[in-house]
Amino acid sequence: MLPCDLGSKPKMAKSLLNATSLSARTKLLHQVGVSLYNTSHGFYEEEVKKTLQQFPGGSIDLQKEDNGIGILTLNNPSKMNAFSGVMMLQLLEKVIELENWTEGKGLIVRGAKNTFSSGSDLNAVKALGTPQDGVALSMFMQNTLTRFMRLPLISVALIQGRALGGGAEFTTACDFRLMTPESEIRFVHKEMGIIPSWGGASRLVEIIGSRQALKVLSGALKLNSEKALNIGMVEEVLQFSDETKSLEEAREWLMQFVNGPPEVIRALKKSVCSGRELYLEEALQNERDLLGTVWGGPANLEAIARKGKFNK
């Protein structure tokens, strides 16, 4: 039987946390701001940043609401919200800001002017023409989107209009995807003579399985909302295509999962991340450690007191 002395729980949890050492993989997952690639992989981030700075246009906008939901907007409507070099840099800046938003619980990613994103701005793509350039850009965006995926926020991509190429890849870095009735997802990489480079292929396999992913990628299939729903690419097709109404629908949909104390929602997201990325034994240890951050905490004690009232 578990001890019923709630006052001793924090001390007990702390001693249990120190009982076993974390693996190197788990430590990396715990640390904020750790990237996949560094100089040991031949990746020189500052040099890549200087190069990307040469390609201006558009912006990544972040609005943080009092209810703990953030709205991340890809804003380059004259080019269907294609990512310029500056937007790639700004995305990293916004991810860092979100890593430090302790009150945050959820995030909606959308594109401006009723379309999601057409991927990379071709001006940057044409200028970065060597294999070395392509690999460096790939490592930069994989770093950014992996950090995005590990945010302790429950994220959903609101897909309006078209999500093409890198835009389609970005949707796979979100925990969930919602589509408006006339929207479309398409991995057009094959038609550009390349493969996904922002981590989209690996994440797509996790979302819909290897057989479906191979069809989607090798066929450069146009996934309308019905097809995407049928193969498990998206959670739901929204009722409205209107920009304002669909955003409100997405907000209401997300609220059912982020309704609760930030520390609990964030711990839940972290535990799922560890289950996805770590070996079972490491994931179990990480789940145990995360429990120690909420067991006996304010939300836990309040829930126990409330439950006691119900039982009277």
User: Which tens digit of pLDDT belongs to each residue from 168-214?
Assistant: 999 999 999 999 999 999 999 999 999 999 999 999 999 999 999 99
Task: Tell the residue number behind the tokens 């953030």, with chain if given.
Answer: 70
Q: Which segments of 153-310 are extended strands (E)?
A: 154-159, 162-164, 176-179, 184-186, 223-224, 236-237
In percent, how much of the chain has pLDDT > 70? 88
- Domain edges within the chain: 35-259, 260-311
**Which among 157, 142, 149, 166 is positioned nearest to 228, based on CA atoms?**
157
Q: Note the Cα 251 to chain centre separation in Å.
A: 16
Q: What pLDDT, on the 0 to 100 scale, is given for residue 12? A: 43
The answer to whether the CB of 222 falls within 8 A of the CB of 163 is no
pTM for this entry:
0.88
Q: What is the mean pLDDT of the chain?
A: 90
User: Class for domain 35-259, per CATH?
Assistant: alpha beta
Amino acid, res. 214:
L
Q: What are the pLDDT digits (tens) for 73-131?
A: 999 999 999 999 999 999 999 999 999 999 999 999 999 999 999 999 988 888 888 99
pLDDT band at 13 (very low <50, low <70, confident <90, very high): very low
Instruction: Report how far apart, in Å, the C-alpha atoms of 2 and of each of 6, 7, 10, 303, 308 are.
Output: 10, 13, 14, 17, 17
Q: What are the pLDDT digits (tens) for 223-263?
A: 999 999 999 999 999 999 999 999 999 999 999 999 999 99
The SS3 assignment for 63 reads: strand
218 exposure class (CB count in 10 Å sphere: 0-12, 13-18, 19+): exposed
pLDDT band at 156 (very low <50, low <70, confident <90, very high): very high
Which tokens belong to 290? 């995360």
Report d(CA 119, CA 104) in Å as an integer.
Answer: 27
Instruction: Report how far apart, in Å, the C-alpha atoms of 259 and of each of 38, 184, 249, 254, 269 are.
Output: 37, 30, 15, 9, 13
